Structure 1
């Protein structure tokens, strides 16, 4: 996969490591944009990585979490401590907004 960093702030170190792994392991025909900020009528959205394939767009949220990860009541917990709103829910909302 080829990719381009488009955000002014760039990527966090852990995100760079993950994107480098994706570049090596995903098909060469795929292209990714990292560090995107997209604005619509509802405000701005931070998209860690947008991957373009032949037949779909993939929104990827990168996290440097370890330990015991669980999901409870709409929140993700790391080692029993709240980590906030589900990254899945956030990316789903972003995908629906981009679709519109």
Structure 2
């Protein structure tokens, strides 16, 4: 995969390690952009990694979490510690907003 690190200063060391592994392990024809910010009328969206394949766009949220991960009412917990709004839900919202930007 061809990787372009756009906002390298905004990536954590663990995120840099992860995108390096993805660059080496994913298809050469794919393009990826790491550490980007996309803005729309609702504000800005921080995207750890945006991957463009031959037929889709993937939004990747990178976490270096371990231990017990649970979710309750849209809030994620790591080892019973509140980690905030579900990254899944946040990226789902981002995907819809990016889709709207692309079709407008």
Q: TM-score, normalised by structure 2?
A: 0.92
Shift of 1:7: 1.8
Shift of 1:33: 0.1
The answer for unaligned runs of 5 or more in structure 2 is: none
Whether 1:44 and 2:44 are equivalent positions in the alignment is yes
Shift of 1:8: 6.0
Return closer, same or farther for 1:58/1:66 CA change in 2, 3 Å cut-off. same
3-state DSSP of counterpart to 2:97: helix
Whether 1:34 and 2:17 are equivalent positions in the alignment is no
How many Å separate the matches in 1 of 2:41 and 2:28? 34
Instruction: Indicate if the aligned counterparts of 2:75 and 2:83 stay in contact, CA closer than 8 A.
Output: yes
| Structure 1 stretches of at least 4 aligned residues deviating more than 4 Å after TM superposition | none
Give deviations 1:6-37, integer Å, cap 9, x for gaps.
Answer: 12634210000000111111111111000110
The answer for unaligned runs of 5 or more in structure 1 is: none
Return closer, same or farther for 1:23/1:8 CA change in 2, 3 Å cut-off. closer
Q: TM-score, normalised by structure 1?
A: 0.95
RMSD: 1.0
Give the corresponding residue for 2:53. 53
Greater helix proportion: 2
Give deviations 1:32-87, integer Å, cap 9, x for gaps.
Answer: 00011011100111001000000000000011111111111111110011100000
